[in-house]
Homo-oligomer: A and B are copies of this chain.
Amino acid sequence: MDAAAKARFDLIGENLAEILNPELLESILAEGRNPRVYWGTATTSSPHTGYFLPALKIAQLLAAGCDVVVLLADIHGFLDNLKAPLDLVENRAKYYSKIITAILESVGVQTDKLEFVLGSSYQKNADYVMDLYRLSSLVSEHDAKKAGAEVVKQSNNSPLSGLMYPLLQCLDEEYLKCDAQLGGVDQRKLFVAATEWLPKIGYRKRAHLINPMIAGLNGGKMSSSVQDSKIDLLDTPEAITKKIRKAEAAPRVIEENGVLSMVEYILLPAAGLKGRKEFRVERKDEEPLIYTDIKQLHEDYKNDILTPQVLKPAVAAALVELMAPIRAAYEGSAEWQEITLKAYPPPEKKQKKVKDKGSRYPGAQNQ
């Protein structure tokens, strides 16, 4: 690889927990071609700040000259929410494409090389299905279960679809013609399985870009169903500020610290994409702390130079600033507002809240 290719590869790999089969990407870059990467999300719930993690990675991929496909897995969304009718899920898919585009635009990334694909546009096609049948006759129940262990809820009484999901996700790599798939650490076993399974039916194996897990604001995993663990992408500045103020962030402890994660995985990369990778912490009667790198920030936090009391307002202010264009885009689009009403209709009395069960897709990592 020449220096330009190396720089592209470094940006592709920034902040990732791991790359499986990086040589597949390196050779594409060495030839001066653009890798095509896919990231999938089941359109089951409402994207929150956790989506900044894959979205900013997608922004970096686009900045590194990759072609990126976002799979809006509507069939899976429908299957995950057995009582949600298909048109609800389809409106959610539209909502997802709106908000993901808004995130990317909020950090100034060109989205002309970004493609949204609906799962239902090809996952019911004859070729795909025949490949599903073929693959199902070659992959054992044991291996399917192992591959999906951290992605799909599993027990003897779990629906059979949970065992089929890993096969579908593996086939998606071929049918989306990608060179690599992006997903969270929880997808690792599935990604390893995909590299073994695709060649069994005559297709090439893909590289895999693995995002780290990001902690929720309450210290645990970020979850759509735990309101206090996440910030909605359309939250008001007041709501954002309040949630950050209430977030768990023990002094000196950097592990499972959701507020620090925000800086590392959202605010610093977003600032980088906007042209100046730094994070400022204003202090009363003192010089501001300015970080260009998470290591120094972690160091200061461990030594209580950077305290939760000064960190939180800085994070809240940076998030409010980062998310302002998203909210503005929403408020300026009657179409988007209409989609939102259809995708998330206000609950009628006695109507059950649509549950957000864990989904197979990488987006699930942040839910």
Determine the chain B residues whose CB is within 8 A of the CB of A80 once the complex forms.
137
* Distance of A286 from chain B, by nearest CB (Å): 57
Q: Is the CB–CB distance between A140 and B158 below 8 Å?
A: yes
* Distance of A365 from chain B, by nearest CB (Å): 21
A141 interface residue (CB < 8 Å to B) = yes
Taking the full assembly, how many copies of this chain does it contain? Answer: 2
A161 interface residue (CB < 8 Å to B) = yes
Q: Which of A133, A144, A156 gathers most chain B CB within 10 Å?
A: A133
Segment touching B, from A122-130, A210-218, A238-246, A311-319: A122-130
Q: Which of A125, A130, A160 gathers most chain B CB within 10 Å?
A: A160
Q: Is the CB–CB distance between A157 and B141 below 8 Å?
A: yes
* Distance of A317 from chain B, by nearest CB (Å): 44
Q: Check A82/B140 contact, CB under 8 A, given A124-B130, A160-B164.
A: no
Q: Is the CB–CB distance between A138 and B75 below 8 Å?
A: no
State A124–B167 Cα separation when bound (angstroms).
16
Determine the chain B residues whose CB is within 8 A of the CB of A79 once the complex forms.
133-134, 136-137
State A162–B136 Cα separation when bound (angstroms).
8
Task: Give chain A's interface secondary structure class.
Answer: helix
Minimal Cβ-Cβ distance residue in B for A157: B140
A139 interface residue (CB < 8 Å to B) = yes
Q: Is the CB–CB distance between B138 and A159 below 8 Å?
A: yes
A270 interface residue (CB < 8 Å to B) = no
Contact with B along A143-183 (1 / 0, CB 8 A): 01000000000001111111110010000000000000000
A142 interface residue (CB < 8 Å to B) = yes
State A156–B144 Cα separation when bound (angstroms).
10
Taking Cβ atoms with an 8 Å cutoff, the residues of A that contact B are 75, 79-80, 82, 123-126, 129-130, 133-134, 136-142, 144, 156-164, 167
Known: A137-B160, A141-B157. 16 other contacts (CB 8 A): A75-B130, A79-B137, A82-B137, A124-B129, A124-B130, A138-B159, A140-B157, A140-B160, A141-B141, A141-B156, A141-B158, A141-B162, A144-B160, A160-B163, A160-B164, A160-B167
Listed by A's residue number, 25 A-B pairs whose Cβ atoms lie within 8 Å are A75-B130, A79-B134, A82-B137, A82-B138, A123-B129, A124-B126, A124-B129, A125-B126, A133-B161, A136-B159, A136-B164, A137-B159, A137-B161, A140-B159, A140-B160, A141-B156, A141-B157, A141-B162, A141-B163, A142-B156, A142-B157, A160-B164, A160-B167, A163-B163, A164-B164
